Amino acid sequence: MKHYLLVRIKTTKKTSLLLKLNRLNVDIKNITYETDYLKFLILDKDLKRVKKYLVSYEVEILDETGIYKLKKELKRNNLIITGIIFAVVIFLILSNIIVKINIIHEDSALRELIRESLEEEGVTPLSFKKSYDEYERIIERIKEEYQDKIEWLEIDVEGMVINVRVEERIINNYEKDYSKCHIVASKSGIIKSIRTEKGVTEVSMNDYVSKGDILINGSIKLNEEIKENVCASGSVYAEVWYNVSASIPITEEIKKDTGKMRYNIMIKKGTNESVILKSRVGSEKRVENILLFRIFGFEVYLQKEYEIEIEKINYTEEEALKKGILLIHEKLELKLDNFEGIIKEKVLQKNIKNNNIYIDMFVAVKEQIGIKEYFD
């Protein structure tokens, strides 16, 4: 790829100068004639030759591309680049060193056991970090050695700190009898469908049931006498009722990325934060911080600044109401584990206040309400 320089030469004999350049077989472009100057583009590889043979002329570089421009930018931002290089070097040196190990569990004896096991594997403060596979091997080794004491173990590397989370294995001396159970109602409602796999069906379609009522009985009777106890199984769906509220802003600000992103270095001490470079994106931005390393109480982050633009949207009352109803649907789907679908709904009340529309709704949903209840 060719790199051109924009140069300016002071001369009143412009034609003579151009002839000299032609004899030197110099490629020049975009010639501009000024009163006492001649401006043109020249290949950077020809600059030395021009300066050598035109010693009586003062050649001034106005703009550069390629290596010349890079050198100029490096010189101009020398302090910033030096700071970044220093930070990166410190990061490379220190990012592979463990300065602290946190073993998270309330039992001090179990914490000490884990600490000793880690020391046997060379995982100690001021030691070098190990690879992901090595940590996985250490976890499996400790779990296997103490399988009667440890249920679960995790090693999480965060910067120069290792957090070890452990869950103690609790061995019960008894086993719960799961052989006998009823299917009971987890909440009140009107039965909409029932499918019995094992046990005796106690309810019919459109029956109203209360929370705790037996829906499928695990006790099988003949002539009022219990012949067999089983663990009932099946599914029961009912119409269940909810009153749900939501509020939606009539005017909403939506933030969108413009596509512009700049890097920065952020240093944090406690709650105080400072950046090395002045922000080069707009006043509205989204910031993402990536921890590089911690040292002497300071945290150093690589900061990504994303420029955003704010779009203001004004909804009509009808549009805001539709958004509110959709939000209520989403709330129900997230809240209910056994949600099957909405049967009917009605807006009970709506009010507009402080640029928001507030709605209260009655919603009837089809929901699986059967849960197991064990008995002796």
CB 183 within 8 A of CB 214: yes
Helices assigned H by DSSP within the chain? 14-23, 47-53, 66-76, 78-94, 108-120, 132-145, 317-335
Per-residue CA distances from 104 to 136, 291, 293 (Å): 18, 22, 22
DSSP assignment string, 15-27: HHHHHHHHHTT--
First-to-final CA distance of the chain:
85
Architecture of domain 4-74: 2-Layer Sandwich (3.30)
- List the CATH code of the domain at 100-168: 3.10.20
**What is the reported pTM?**
0.43
The span from the CA of 294 to the CA of 317, in Å, is 51
Per-residue pLDDT of the chain (376 residues; tens, 9 = 90+): 567 788 888 888 888 888 888 888 888 888 888 888 888 888 877 888 888 777 777 788 777 655 555 566 566 667 777 777 777 777 666 667 888 899 988 888 888 889 899 988 888 887 888 888 888 899 889 988 888 888 888 888 887 788 998 888 766 544 555 689 999 999 999 999 999 999 999 999 999 999 999 999 999 988 888 889 999 999 999 999 998 888 888 888 888 888 788 888 888 888 888 887 777 776 788 888 888 877 777 888 888 888 888 888 888 888 888 888 888 888 888 777 777 888 999 999 888 888 888 899 999 999 999 999 998 8
Residue type, 368: Q
Domain chopping of the chain, boundaries: 4-74, 100-168, 181-237, 251-313
